[in-house]
């Protein structure tokens, strides 16, 4: 049984929540005004056992909710915070910044609300168990490499699939790629896979808490890499919440040396959630002004949210001197050095369409060298994130 603390003075939401949780879980309700106090004061009003999830009702004042959430995230990091509110980009971004891990419409169907809250509770228990295990066993986690781009159409999935296949060669059966473009993900087609299971199957049931069950939902690639593929239908993406994703990534990082995340374009809730777990960010950018500006804006947002991964790599795709832009122009705009240059290539997009990554068949192509340099960044002889960048580009000083 999980335990929930709910802040609301809205009778209708209280009844809806009671219907969703039923008699299976224990929950305590405090008036929404309680959000105006400190985290310690709020915990002193807790009449039961340890809290797994705190739910902010739709009637809680936004300023009080954001302040209290930030304090709870710092003082009680094991408690997962959920907000019931009509979703809006500005509110979601502010909530994520304060420590909220999921935003649910107050009228979410009871079954889906129960599922989302139960997964939030599992995340809380996983945090507590993980903290205990890390303290007692110091269990190592793999590198979580988030491949991202604020704009679509820049070859992000191509880079992610080649990276996964390349790392699988360095660490046989040690790399898994997760397709987090939940509506329109192309990892399966990019790897030539016909998955029997998708992330929807892994996000519910025993797989969310049992690593052996979770592995059964992965698809095996001939290179030795594993893949967790996107839902078969775009509508199924609505069933996957940020709490589901963070639980899965946590599980996979304990089982694989390399977890590669092919994220959706932009900075949606799932992307922001996984960035808290990412050890490395790989940013893919095209050699055009909209792509470069999009990357610059995306990096600025993450700096403001303090969600930049510890190590970041900029990959410039479709590099072409005839574009009217230079590498120096890109670097000056985004404020970071370009680490990997992938020249314009006919073969690279063709290989993705054929479902055979370029590093898999080693076809001669000007972009192959850059992809190998990217893979080498994460190999056993890779240099530290603060080292020089000339080897990453494969250029002489």
CA distance 144 to 256: 9
**How many CB atoms lie under 10 A from the CB of residue 303?**
11
Q: Of 197, 232, 239, whose CA–CA distance to 216 is shortest?
A: 197
Q: Which residues contact 140 (CB under 8 A, 6 or more apart)?
A: none
CA distance 75 to 40: 8
Residue 381 pLDDT: 63
CA distance 4 to 53: 5
| Contact between 153 and 264 (Cβ < 8 Å) | no
| Contact between 120 and 83 (Cβ < 8 Å) | no
Residue 340 pLDDT: 94
**How many CB atoms lie under 10 A from the CB of residue 3?**
17
The torsion angles phi and psi of 16, rounded to 5 degrees, stand at -65, -40
User: Strand pairing of 219-220 and 226-228?
Assistant: antiparallel
Residue 206 pLDDT: 61
Q: Could you tell me how far CA 43 lies from the centroid of its own chain? A: 30
User: Strand pairing of 143-148 and 80-84?
Assistant: unpaired
Residue 203 pLDDT: 77
Residue 188 pLDDT: 93
Task: Please measure the distance between the N-terminal and C-terminal CA atoms of the chain and give it in whole angstroms.
Answer: 61
| Torsion sign, CA atoms 361, 152, 188, 381 | positive
| Contact between 217 and 205 (Cβ < 8 Å) | no
CA distance 230 to 178: 8
| Contact between 176 and 220 (Cβ < 8 Å) | no
Angle between helix 242-255 and helix 110-137 axes, rounded to 10 deg: 30
| Contact between 66 and 95 (Cβ < 8 Å) | yes
Q: Of 383, 230, 367, 379, whose CA–CA distance to 287 is shortest?
A: 367
Q: Identify the three-state secondary structure at position 173.
A: coil
| Contact between 127 and 78 (Cβ < 8 Å) | yes
Sheet of 340-343: strands edge to edge?
Answer: 219-220, 226-228, 175-180, 258-263, 143-148, 280-286, 311-319, 340-343
| Contact between 252 and 179 (Cβ < 8 Å) | no
Q: Could you tell me how far CA 39 lies from the centroid of its own chain? A: 28
Residues of the chain with pLDDT under 70: 24, 129-139, 204-212, 381-397
């Amino acid at each position: 049984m999980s335990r929930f603390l709910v802040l609301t003075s809205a009778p209708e939401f209280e009844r809806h929540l009671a219907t969703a949780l039923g008699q299976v879980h224990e929950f305590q309700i405090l008036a929404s005004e309680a959000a105006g106090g400190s985290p310690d004061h709020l915990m002193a009003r807790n009449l039961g056992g340890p809290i797994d999830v705190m739910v902010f009702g739709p009637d809680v004042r936004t300023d009080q909710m954001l302040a209290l959430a930030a304090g709870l995230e710092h003082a009680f990091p094991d408690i997962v915070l959920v907000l019931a509110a009509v979703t809006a980009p500005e509110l979601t971004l502010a909530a994520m910044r304060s420590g909220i891990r999921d935003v649910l419409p107050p009228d979410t169907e009871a079954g889906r609300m129960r599922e989302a809250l139960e997964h939030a509770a599992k995340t809380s228990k996983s945090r507590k168990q993980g903290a205990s295990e890390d303290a007692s066993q110091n269990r190592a986690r793999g590198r979580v490499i988030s491949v991202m781009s604020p704009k679509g159409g820049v070859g992000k999935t191509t880079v992610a699939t080649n990276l996964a296949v390349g790392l699988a060669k360095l660490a046989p059966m040690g790399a898994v790629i997760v397709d987090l473009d939940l509506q329109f993900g192309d990892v399966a087609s990019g790897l030539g896979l016909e998955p029997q299971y998708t992330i929807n199957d892994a996000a519910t049931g025993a797989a969310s808490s049992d690593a052996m069950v979770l592995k059964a939902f992965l698809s095996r690639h001939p290179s030795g890499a594993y893949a967790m593929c996107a839902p078969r239908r775009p509508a199924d993406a609505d069933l996957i919440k940020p709490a589901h994703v963070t639980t899965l990534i946590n599980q996979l990082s304990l089982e694989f040396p390399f977890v590669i995340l092919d994220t959706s374009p932009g900075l949606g809730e799932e992307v922001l959630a996984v960035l808290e777990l990412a050890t490395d960010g790989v940013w893919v950018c095209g050699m055009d002004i909209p792509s470069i500006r999009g990357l610059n804006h995306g990096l600025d947002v993450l700096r403001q949210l303090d969600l930049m991964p510890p190590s970041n790599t900029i990959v410039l795709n479709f590099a072409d001197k005839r574009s009217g832009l230079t590498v120096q122009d890109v670097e000056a705009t985004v404020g970071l050095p370009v680490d990997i240059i992938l020249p314009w290539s006919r073969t690279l997009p063709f290989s993705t369409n054929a479902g055979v990554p370029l590093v898999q068949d080693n076809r001669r192509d000007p972009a192959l060298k850059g992809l190998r340099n990217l893979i080498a960044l994460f190999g056993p002889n890779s240099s530290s994130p603060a080292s020089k960048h000339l080897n990453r580009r494969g250029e002489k000083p």
